[in-house]
Amino acid sequence: MNIKDYVAQDDGNFEGLVRLQAEANLEKTAVICEQRRLTYAELNRLVNRLAAALQRDGVKPRGVVAICAATSIEYLATFLGVLRAGATVAPLSTAATAEQLAAMVVDCGASHLFVDADVSRQLAGVAPRLSARQIALNAAADGDAFPDWLAPEGARPAPVTIDPDQAFNIIYSSGTTGTPKGIVQSQRMRWYQVIRTDPPGYTPEAITILSTPLYSNTTLTSLIPTLAGGGTLVLMPKFDARQFLVLCEAHRVNVAMLVPVQYRRILAVPNFDRFDLSNFRMKFATSAPFPADLKSEVLRRWPGGLIEYYGMTEGGGTCMLLAHEHPDKLHTVGQPIPGHDMKVIDDEGRVLPPGQAGEVVGRSESMMNGYHNRPDKTAEAEWISPEGLRYIRTGDIATIDADGFMTLIGRKKDMIISGGINVYPIDLERALIDHPAVHEAAVVGAPSAEWGETPVAFITLNDGASVSPEEVRIFANAKLGKMQRISEVRIIAVLPRSAIGKVLKRELQDQLPPAM
């Protein structure tokens, strides 16, 4: 079957399409990582050896294989090899604690765990509790050495039948709101992400740089369409803003998926405007709030279009903002993409009209099966419409305007209730950032004997700036309503963030006393 006919199917799968791309583009570069590069033919042979080795070890379709390591060609090949064997990939965060990693490996029931040296050292204390066979992706890691474990050159796995409803991957939540939950995404969900008709698409000419970790759904939403479309991946094992620009210039990169904090750091690189980024056709952003002023600066200084996606790893609804086409809507996250239904509901589950704030729920063909082994949490994440249709709750508070553009107000769990009034941190953070000395701001609720909760701000300053916390507090409060006023401002060196740029507000709250 040719690629065009395969993509036209409703029940195809990503790995099968990658195999067809490899057969059609044998000598084309598939992946570049530092000084190494593999053609599609070379990558395909490595994936075959990996899948054959897993089958030799007894891995069956629907079995689970875990990976916890820094970005590398071996990681990418392992991910694809697991899929080719018909199994499920569990990409685990390298930022997790040893206890969290052990719990995730046990929870997903992984038969194999692929690790690098850093993760191997981290797991040393809990390794005896794990039954998964450990494979060392580099020389200094514990476990079976990857080159020796692989099936021989020329090996091919036995063909497998893929059920569209079986798990493609299990991606664990960051754990910033409790114990990490395994988000089960089906083969069907990932296939719809391949064949959906987003305006930019990923063509065979795509040269896509991946600078976020491979365990992140943010990264996979760019990795998957690039390989499915026959493009080239440029991998960054660790993000560095200047090195990002060097790689983009050297490899003539034309597509990138970045989180907002990366855009800010890249634009701040001295002599940014001297780098040749003229090949860029499209840039994407997701995973964290993207300030309108930063979007505007990206559009002004960086060639190519800019698209912001708003959605969840759990799936449901996705909004898309074509920022280069809607410069008057940069304060929004765009409109639902075709086939995605998004609504705003109140605390009683009633759908709200345009302009009223409530929790966002979404429904589409791209929705998680549920949380692995957590039917209770799965039920909590769902909203059933009056028509009996299943939607996924986002936990975000937003409004939708008359044109269908969504404006985020904040996370439901981050909302501060002060004196019985709902206070949204994003409004306070915007007031703080208006101060010329303030670089970034995060506001959390601190326990208060008088008000229940009271807003406390953590800020970082621009380079060379000097200002007192009280001066910033007075400045911001002058812009805020009486019930929004900030009780304290703390200046810190850097806001704590996850690997994909989300501010870890729980870590900030942990710095506060029990009551203020």
Residue 498 is predicted with a pLDDT of 85
Which residue segments constitute the domains of the chain, with CATH numbers given? Answer: 3-22+36-195 (3.40.50.980), 338-410 (2.30.38.10), 415-509 (3.30.300.30)
Please report how the helices 469-477 and 425-433 are oriented relative to each other, as an axis angle in degrees rounded to 10: 120
Nearest to 257 by CA among 286, 290, 299, 226: 286
Tokens 């497998």 belong to residue:
160
- Kind of pairing between the strands at 255-258 and 207-210: parallel
Tens of pLDDT along 252-286? 999 999 999 999 999 999 999 999 999 999 999 99
Residue 195 is predicted with a pLDDT of 77
Sequence-distant (6+) residues with CB within 8 A of 101 are 68, 92, 119, 122, 123, 126
Least confident of 114-123, 247-256, 477-486, 498-507: 498-507
Tens of pLDDT along 494-503? 999 987 888 9
Find the mean pLDDT for residues 31-46: 97
DSSP calls for 130-174:
--SEEEESSTTSSSEEHHHHSPPTT--PPP-PPPTTSEEEEEE--
Residue type, 453: E
Residue 410 is predicted with a pLDDT of 86
Residue 175 is predicted with a pLDDT of 53
| C-alpha of 273 from chain center | 28
pLDDT at 350 over 70: yes
Residue 194 is predicted with a pLDDT of 83
Q: Which two tokens stand for residue 315?
A: 């799936």
Neighbours of 99 (CB within 10 A): 11
Residue 28 is predicted with a pLDDT of 97
Q: Are 360 and 398 in contact (CB under 8 A)?
A: yes
Residue type, 344: V
CA gap 407, 398 in Å, rounded: 5
CA gap 130, 132 in Å, rounded: 6
Residue 189 is predicted with a pLDDT of 92
Neighbours of 458 (CB within 10 A): 25
Residue 193 is predicted with a pLDDT of 81
Sequence-distant (6+) residues with CB within 8 A of 436 are 462, 465
Neighbours of 496 (CB within 10 A): 17
Who has greater pLDDT, 502 or 172? 172
Bridge partner residues of 371 (DSSP): 183
Nearest to 25 by CA among 230, 253, 227: 230
pLDDT at 358 over 50: yes
Find the mean pLDDT for residues 166-187: 84
Who has greater pLDDT, 497 or 114? 114
Nearest to 217 by CA among 173, 265, 163, 261: 173
Task: Give residue 491's pLDDT band: very low, low, confident or very high (50, 70, 90).
Answer: very high
Find the mean pLDDT for residues 437-459: 92
* Terminal C-alpha separation, the chain: 67
Q: Which two tokens stand for residue 74?
A: 């071996």
Mean pLDDT rounded to a whole number for the chain? 93
CA gap 334, 108 in Å, rounded: 35
Find the mean pLDDT for residues 127-140: 93
CA gap 51, 321 in Å, rounded: 39
Residue 197 is predicted with a pLDDT of 45
Residue 201 is predicted with a pLDDT of 61
Tens of pLDDT along 193-207? 887 645 466 889 999
Residue 502 is predicted with a pLDDT of 85
Find the mean pLDDT for residues 70-77: 98
DSSP E strand stretches across 246-357: 255-258, 282-285, 305-310, 319-322, 335-336, 341-345
Q: Are 369 and 331 in contact (CB under 8 A)?
A: no
CA gap 99, 508 in Å, rounded: 22
Residue 289 is predicted with a pLDDT of 86
Q: Which two tokens stand for residue 392?
A: 């996924």
pLDDT at 247 over 80: yes
Residue 449 is predicted with a pLDDT of 78
> Whole-model pTM?
0.89
Neighbours of 330 (CB within 10 A): 21
